[in-house]
Amino acid sequence: MQLYNKLSAEERRALIEEAGTERITISFYQYHNIGNPQVLRDHLFLTWNNLEVLGRIYVANEGINAQLSLPAPNFNAFKEHLDSISFLKDIRLNIAREQDNMSFLKLKVKVREKIVADGLNDETFDVTNKGVHVDAKTFNELIEDPDTVLVDMRNHYESEIGHFKNAVTPDVDTFRDSLDIIEEDLSEHKEDKKLVMYCTGGIRCEKASAYYKHKGFKNVYQLEGGIIEYDRQIKEEGLENKFLGKNFVFDHRRGERISEDVIANCHQCGAPCDTHTNCENEACHLLFIQCDDCKAKMDNCCSDECAAISALPYEEQKALRAGKGNSNKIFKKGRSEVLKFKK
């Protein structure tokens, strides 16, 4: 019985190209008390592997967070399987606005302590006591209200390439960093302001809305379905788009364009650019913004040092990495000192 992925990314890429079938990229989440996450994890892997699902799925006692792709012909079978699980029946699926058959190249279903790491150890905090969900139309109305504070619950490298007009965009590396910062900054407005939050697909806002209610905020709202669903609704309903730039996504695409505005800059030359890349040097893999000119000049690397290493034969690169852990640069997205024009 196969319970883990056995193919490399390159092997999977070749199989996808050979199949020639269009794939659909989907994300969804659900907070729910799961008694035995490992049992659910194994069940999901066995079923979804047979449906050729690829992606990154986290299961924990508090629920499930899934970002995945699957062949379009298998969608109905996939949906039927979701509906057979009581707490996932009729769940909203966020369909990617820009499809890419290579958005995911492996199926990874992992048991985690939490589906959204928050650093909290408060047993009195109820993640299901969430704020008010609002659609795109109501969201647009709310954020024009002078008594509203609009907060981006994503990390700095996400909001750098795209965010809503007039949003507070905390300069943080992780979700857990933002919780205390936002509470402290808005502590004087727990009763007199409307706290409106948004994120990529809704999962971080849902936890944050429950957290801020727990901390005494009286009027807490979140954009239902996040930026992904907002983009769908404004286009289908002809609403004004109040989002500037790209929506960062956590797959090989790295971004979906929501508006034509380019609000970021290449981290190497400063030219207008909002395209993320990972440094080609396997020992670095820094995520940063790089324009096409710098990509060609630097061979897809963040520095001359990394370019030199990346140009070495694979076995020499492997020898240099031997015995070393992952570079801390991986976890300081866009923050490396080698980048002259970082935010």
Domains of the chain, CATH where assigned: 9-111 (3.30.70.100), 132-237 (3.40.250.10), 276-331 (no CATH)
Question: Which range (55-64, 95-104, 133-142, 188-197) has the least confidence?
Answer: 95-104
Which pLDDT score, from 0 to 100, does residue 330 have? 54
Distance CA 190, CA 220 (A): 9
Which pLDDT score, from 0 to 100, does residue 6 have? 86
Distance CA 95, CA 258 (A): 14
Phi, psi of 151 (to 5 degrees): -125, 130
Q: How confident is the model at residue 332 (pLDDT cuts 50, 70, 90)?
A: low
Q: How confident is the model at residue 328 (pLDDT cuts 50, 70, 90)?
A: low
124 has a pLDDT exceeding 90: no
DSSP letter at 323 equals T
Type of residue at 78: F
322's tokens: 């031997």
Phi, psi of 203 (to 5 degrees): -65, -40
Cα–Cα distances (Å) from 48 to 26, 40, 65, 77, in that order, read: 13, 12, 15, 10
Half-sphere exposure of 256 toward its Cβ, with a 13 Å CA cutoff?
23
Distance CA 115, CA 58 (A): 6
326's tokens: 């992952």
Q: Which of 199, 273, 302, 306 is catalytic?
A: 199
Question: pLDDT tens digit string along 82-107?
Answer: 999 999 999 999 998 888 999 999 99
Which pLDDT score, from 0 to 100, does residue 118 have? 86
218 has a pLDDT exceeding 80: yes
- Mark whether 199 is an active-site residue: yes
Q: How confident is the model at residue 252 (pLDDT cuts 50, 70, 90)?
A: confident
Which pLDDT score, from 0 to 100, does residue 99 have? 87
With pLDDT > 90 as the criterion, what percentage of the chain qualifies? 81
Distance CA 176, CA 186 (A): 16
Half-sphere exposure of 303 toward its Cβ, with a 13 Å CA cutoff?
16
DSSP letter at 154 equals S
The pTM (predicted TM-score) of the whole model is 0.85
331 has a pLDDT exceeding 60: no
